[in-house]
Amino acid sequence: MPEGQTRGGLFDGVFARGGGVTGDTAWLQALLDAEAGLARALERGGLAPAGSGAEVTNAAKASEFDIAELGELSALTGNPVPGLARALARRVGGQAGRVVHRGATSQDIMDTAVMLLARRAIDWVLTDLGTAADATARLADEYRKSLMIGRTLLQQAVPVTFGLVAAGWLNGLDEARSGLAVVREGRLAVQFGGAAGTLASLGADGPRIAALLAEELGLGAPALPWHTQRLRMIDVATALARATSALGKIARDVTLLSQSEIGEIAEGAGPQGPRGAPRRGGSSAMPNKHNPVASIAILGCTRQVPGLLATVLASAEQEEQRAAGAWHAEWQPLAQLFTLARSAASWGAELLPGLTPDTARMTANLAATEGLPLAEHVTSVLAGVLGGPEAHDLVAEAGERAVSSGLPLRDVLLGVPELEDRLAQAGITAAQIEAALEPESYLGATQIFIDAALTAHEESKDG
């Protein structure tokens, strides 16, 4: 079982996949890590006895503390840090015990712990997004010429290729990864300001200890404490929300394209459960079904994220030197956001490598449109001779006749006497109409866009 993870809850297989990022044990360990880092910084700064940093660090093991008791004590102070600091100091004892929490306020430890949890969550999400992106790049390249019908407003539009669809997914994943990397490298910072952001209890040594604390924990050293300036929390939450949005876009497309009536892609079988367990994608009522479980799970995660992000944003308005409630309101939404983002990314890392396009079904669905998606192309060919408005009206009339008669657009354009005569009078040949109705002839910059997405993806890996 991964570090910091307790035995899963009823919904964890969907919403905490890969292990909860911020369960009680993970939270507690992050708080202890912040306290231990402070003790080491104080020792390095000459404000604590030699060896005290190591003593505090050795005692700062979440498994040695009673989470339920700390939870009860938090009701007395509004957060779990005072009770934890006392318990840690008692556990260490002696001179080293008196070093625990020196110079800090509860928010210093809580905010720094959030930064440690955020780094852990971002690292896991980046890893899974990288796996998903690599698989998507392979799809974009392999299926770059696989024709399918494009759809806008859920209606058939013009031809595209599945490679272009995958390239769009890839671009979203890579942009999400880039945003997460920026936050990880530049926006995760220690919080250390003491009672009201002045570090008065440490005198002139305060800024130096803050810098040493940042070194000990591998976090950034901010110019000054940020107790009631919450842009860092917003940046963390937003970067993770962007990642879930990119995953949600893919999952929504998969659910649509895998519908029985469309059937252009299908999820892989996925890992098998234990003997006697339901099969992956199965229904409790309908044995014939193969549901897109990974995509559904991603969407189940991502649909919860906007509300969590909204709470973090609403909590950013914090008064004076310490917020009365807004700071406290961040903890659970951030914890849920970390876990949901990791779970969605884990599902994505399984979904994309196992995705199976059905190019025969794509071809059949495109052919079933009877040429109507190429009406725009035909109009552009005719416009050069007839002018835009007349060309549009002629093709619109032909399209209506094609739909009402059930005939292909080609047959109407070339087989209805009055339309045929109008085309002949304009000097438009049957060969020109035939060429304009070929899907391959109306793909625009598809290959250029796919190449651009693949190049950008390779560059993101090099960076």
Is the dihedral angle over the CA atoms 28, 29, 32, 37 positive or is it negative?
Answer: negative
pTM over 0.95: no
Q: Which pair of tokens denotes residue 458?
A: 């390779």
What is the distance between the alpha carbons of residues 283 and 425, in angstroms, rounded to a whole number? 60
Q: What is the pLDDT of residue 277?
A: 41
Give the CATH architecture of domain 372-436.
Answer: Orthogonal Bundle (1.10)
Collapsed DSSP state (helix, strand, coil) of residue 151 = strand
Q: pLDDT at position 211, please?
A: 97
Cβ atoms of residues 369 and 156 within 8 Å:
yes
Instruction: Please state the φ and ψ torsions of residue 266, each to the nearest 5 degrees.
Output: -145, 145
Buried b (16+ CB within 10 A) or exposed e, 12-47: bebbbbbbbbbbbbbbbbbbbbbbbbbbbbbbbbeb
CA 146 to chain centre: 27
15-104+204-222 CATH: 1.10.275.10
10-residue averages of pLDDT along the chain (463 residues): 56 81 90 98 96 96 95 94 96 94 97 97 97 98 97 94 98 98 97 96 96 98 96 98 98 97 89 52 50 95 97 95 94 95 96 96 94 92 85 90 91 82 83 91 96 96 75
What 3-state class would DSSP assign to 155?
strand
State the pairing for strand pair 265-266/155-161: unpaired
Residues with a catalytic annotation lie at 283, 322
- Buried/exposed code over 338-370 (b: 16+ C-beta within 10 A; e: otherwise): bbbbbbbbbbbbbbbeebebbbebbbebbeebb
CA 193/CA 199 separation, integer angstroms? 5
Which one-letter DSSP state was computed for residue 187?
A: T
Question: What residues contact 402, with CB distance under 8 A and at least 6 apart?
Answer: 370, 371, 372, 408, 409, 411, 412
- Domain 105-191+226-364 fold is Fumarase C; Chain A, domain 2 (1.20.200)
Q: Are 422 and 390 in contact (CB under 8 A)?
A: no
Are residues 208 and 45 in contact, defined by beta-carbon separation less than 8 angstroms? yes
Q: Where are the domains of the chain?
A: 15-104+204-222, 105-191+226-364, 372-436
Contact 379, 396 (CB under 8 A): no
At residue 189, φ and ψ (nearest 5 deg) are -140, 155
